[in-house]
Chain A
Amino acid sequence: MTDKHKLEGMKMKIKTLISASLFAVLSYGSALAAEYPVIVADDRNIAVTFTEKPKNVAALNIVGADIMKAIGEKPIGVSSYGGEMPVYLEYDAKDYVDFGLLHQPNFELLTEQNVDLVIGLTAYNAPFAEEFVKIGKLLTYDIMNIEDSFRATNSVAKIFGQSEKAAELNDSFKELLNDYHEKSKPGQSAIFMWVYGDLMYAYYTEGIQGSFLQFLNTKNAMGSNLNALIDKHDIARPIDPEELLELNPDVIFSFRSEGNTYKNNPVFSKINAFKNKRAYHVGLQYTQPHGPIARDMIFKEMAHLLFPKTFEKPNIPAGAEAVALKFVD
């Protein structure tokens, strides 16, 4: 055997050893990831123990369905989302059970479908925890700001042994925020609103939507609310047309809602956003924007709408895209 052959032999052994070691490490890691029992604490500070991976998950909180999709899992059903399935997740209604409204889920259906985990929203579902736990396990989240989004992603992913994937999703989104922050120029103002008939609400910077404006170097016309530091739900307040005229935002993001307020009120035609045709009805995902898919989609769409020349239009499923808000029929 020549030295050359000996060297080749050594290389082969090393390669085999490395491969075997890698396989062992990965197998161990995988075994670790799938290791049960897993204990997950939700936003009620209740620790829930999972002895196995849940099979029939009802994601009443769409954020739960969003996180599951992002980590390669899927629920058996969701709550109807503004009266429809979550379009942005491209869920086909026939493939998922519609468990009813988030605040009024169909308990009979949940029982019938042998749901073993319900992912809910604390405000709406926690008061009925006793009813839920008769059916399966319950986790509820109280998600308002960007930190809540990261925490919920970690928490839900942990149930499925996907903590690393969650960390990866959160890290890449943080990178995206920083990257876009550097590329966006200051000088514009915008506002987030929802409109129910004659009643309009606008969001402070403390909500996730408002914080996205900060990352995009855009002034939130509503500004900040220090009370939100004490009560994180205090992220929006009613606003009247007169105040909106005074704030005069360059861009309006309005959640899809009903009523003819915009169309009827002559004041709106004087607001910069309307004058420059930069008032938008945004998709329903903006109302529960904390999932990894939604937050990514929303942030990129906002960036595009605020800086169309700098940021490309993201790929958003039909029906979930922002559309121009018409002042006149």
Chain B
Amino acid sequence: MPNNQNIIESALIAQPIKKLRLSLVVGVSVVIMLASFLFMLSAGRMSTDLLEVAALLFADSETSNKALVIQELRLPRALIAILVGAALSMAGTIIQSITRNPLGSPSLTGVTAGAAFAIVLAFVTYSPKTDILMLVGTFGGICAALITFSLARQSRFDPVHLTLAGVSVSIFFMAAISALMLLYGESTNAIYFWLIGSFSGRTMVELSHLWYWVFIGLALGVIFSPYLNLLLLDDDICHSIGINVTKWRFILGLIAVILTAACVAVAGPVGFIGFIVPHITRKLLGVQLASIDHKILLPLTALVGGALTIFMDALSRSQIIGIELPIGISSTFIGGILFVILFKKRSI
């Protein structure tokens, strides 16, 4: 932690957050998340009312198909949606803060493309089991981000250089994915659908891989959040108060990468959530990028992200447009609209 908390706090031009607003954002998010969660547990081909769902959650899945569906299909999918939404949103907030770039998103570190490349490579070469595939994807994402960081290290992780390095690494891995898909032709059809990003068909196997990465990432993010406040300041100010900017950009960037890589490995590249949710959260709180305490912002972004993501998945599951859209499509669609609205209101 910083040595001189007073200097740091005075350096930070923090805007006070109105408690009522904060409570409202938390309350509405929790209500949306809970309502969507219950809908996800009860909606599906096998009709189940909420009371039945409660009983089925603890019933023997060996003897009841409905219990099996609730416990092995609907519950993991709902939890994965919340975890992925929370993790990507928090990762997006971290990236936007360390790069001081409101257009920042986790994929700017190359992690998304790297994880996707590792999974495509593993899939076409030896088609491993899901748990292995998850690990391969996660480490692929981390490796790609480490390449980005090593490219940006010479400039002490200067935000512009970090962004450019991330974009370059992403482009490289996207090209490599295209090359693999061309090379392996028809056998990559399954990967094509995975690349859209989806929670469909995810089970306890994926959930058991995801949860610990997300919880570790979320915890580390909150623990180190004071440094995010400082990194929003000018580098010279940071140096003058004894903050090693390079070290903390790297550590916090790595936390964002861990959060993202595990999500991409489980759900595929889910676009826009990591980018748009931090903006929505700040907008709801009525604060700007450089003027908020991340100790509040990070968990709040995770909550809003989790709520928004499970809500979008519930919307998709309800087949409101006749078919179930994968989250990768619905999040980009809804995220795109929200982006335009925020942009029009000059909030970005």
Q: Which residues of A contact B129 (CB under 8 A)?
A: 260, 263-264, 329
Report how far A197 CA is from B189 CA in the complex, Å: 8
Query: Which chain B residues (93-120) contact chain A, with CB distance < 8 Å?
Result: none
Q: Which residues of A contact B342 (CB under 8 A)?
A: none
* Closest chain A CB from B190 CB (angstroms): 3
Contact, CB under 8 Å: A83 / B201: no
Report how far A263 CA is from B202 CA in the complex, Å: 12
One of A83, A199, A242 near B45 (C-beta < 8 A) = A242
* Closest chain B CB from A233 CB (angstroms): 16
Query: Which chain A residues (201-227) contact chain B, with CB distance < 8 Å?
Result: none
Q: Which residues of A contact B205 (CB under 8 A)?
A: 264
Report how far A315 CA is from B46 CA in the complex, Å: 41
Contact, CB under 8 Å: B203 / A265: yes
Report how far A197 CA is from B129 CA in the complex, Å: 12
* Closest chain A CB from B131 CB (angstroms): 9
Contact, CB under 8 Å: B193 / A240: no
Contact, CB under 8 Å: A246 / B187: no
Contact, CB under 8 Å: B193 / A196: yes
Q: Which residues of B contact A238 (CB under 8 A)?
A: 323-324
Report how far A265 CA is from B323 CA in the complex, Å: 22
* Closest chain B CB from A115 CB (angstroms): 22
Interface flag for A20 (CB, 8 Å): no
Contact, CB under 8 Å: A257 / B201: no
Closest to A199 in B: B193
Closest to B195 in A: A197
Contact, CB under 8 Å: B68 / A266: yes
Query: Which chain B residues (173-198) contact chain A, with CB distance < 8 Å?
Result: 185-194, 198
Report how far A264 CA is from B209 CA in the complex, Å: 13
Interface flag for A259 (CB, 8 Å): yes
A 237-276 to B, binary, CB cutoff 8 A, 1 in contact else 0: 0101111011000000000011111011111001000000
One of B68, B74, B127, B200 near A260 (C-beta < 8 A) = B127
Contact, CB under 8 Å: A82 / B186: yes
Interface flag for A90 (CB, 8 Å): no
Contact, CB under 8 Å: B72 / A197: no
Q: Which residues of A contact B46 (CB under 8 A)?
A: 242, 245-246
Report how far A270 CA is from B187 CA in the complex, Å: 28
Q: Which residues of A contact B69 (CB under 8 A)?
A: 242, 245, 267
Q: Which residues of A contact B73 (CB under 8 A)?
A: 241-242, 265, 267
Q: Which residues of B contact A245 (CB under 8 A)?
A: 46, 65, 68-69
* Closest chain A CB from B128 CB (angstroms): 9
* Closest chain A CB from B192 CB (angstroms): 7
One of B65, B72, B194 near A198 (C-beta < 8 A) = B194
Contact, CB under 8 Å: A257 / B185: no
* Closest chain A CB from B66 CB (angstroms): 9
Interface flag for A316 (CB, 8 Å): no
Closest to A271 in B: B65
* Closest chain B CB from A83 CB (angstroms): 4
Interface flag for B44 (CB, 8 Å): yes
Report how far A198 CA is from B129 CA in the complex, Å: 14
Interface flag for A38 (CB, 8 Å): no
Q: Which residues of A contact B127 (CB under 8 A)?
A: 258, 260
Given contacts A241-B73, A260-B127, A264-B130, whether A198 and B200 have CB atoms under 8 Å apart is yes
Contact, CB under 8 Å: B187 / A258: yes
Contact, CB under 8 Å: A258 / B45: no
Contact, CB under 8 Å: B193 / A266: no
Q: Which residues of A contact B192 (CB under 8 A)?
A: 196-197
Interface flag for A101 (CB, 8 Å): yes
Query: Which chain B residues (152-188) contact chain A, with CB distance < 8 Å?
Result: 185-188
Q: Which residues of A contact B198 (CB under 8 A)?
A: 198
Contact, CB under 8 Å: B324 / A270: no
Contact, CB under 8 Å: B193 / A198: yes
Contact, CB under 8 Å: B190 / A267: no
Closest to B317 in A: A240
Report how far A199 CA is from B194 CA in the complex, Å: 9
Contact, CB under 8 Å: A197 / B190: yes
Contact, CB under 8 Å: B201 / A240: yes
Closest to A198 in B: B201
Contact, CB under 8 Å: B190 / A196: yes
Most B Cβ at <10 Å: residue of A82, A257, A260, A261: A260
Contact, CB under 8 Å: B193 / A197: yes
Report how far A51 CA is from B226 CA in the complex, Å: 83
Report how far A71 CA is from B311 CA in the complex, Å: 58
Contact, CB under 8 Å: A240 / B45: yes
Given contacts A197-B190, A241-B73, A257-B190, whether A270 and B130 have CB atoms under 8 Å apart is no
Q: Which residues of A contact B45 (CB under 8 A)?
A: 240, 242-243, 246
Most A Cβ at <10 Å: residue of B45, B192, B198, B205: B45
* Closest chain A CB from B205 CB (angstroms): 6
Contact, CB under 8 Å: A266 / B72: yes
Contact, CB under 8 Å: A196 / B201: no
Closest to A101 in B: B185
* Closest chain B CB from A280 CB (angstroms): 19
Query: Which chain B residues (109-149) contact chain A, with CB distance < 8 Å?
Result: 123, 127, 129-130, 133
Q: Which residues of A contact B202 (CB under 8 A)?
A: 198
Give me the interface of A with B, judged by CB distance under 8 Å: 80, 82-83, 101, 195-199, 238, 240-243, 245-246, 257-261, 263-267, 270, 329
Q: Provide a sorted-by-A list of 6 A–B residue pairs whose CB atoms are within 8 angstroms.
A: A240-B201, A257-B189, A257-B190, A259-B190, A264-B129, A267-B68
Q: Which 8 A-B pairs have the closest CB atoms?
A: A197-B190, A258-B190, A259-B190, A198-B201, A83-B186, A197-B193, A243-B45, A242-B45
Give me the interface of B with A, judged by CB distance under 8 Å: 44-46, 65, 68-69, 72-74, 123, 127, 129-130, 133, 185-194, 198, 200-205, 323-324
Inter-chain pairs besides A82-B186, A242-B45, A267-B73, 11 sampled, C-beta below 8 Å:
A83-B186, A196-B193, A197-B190, A197-B192, A238-B323, A241-B73, A258-B190, A260-B130, A264-B129, A265-B203, A329-B129
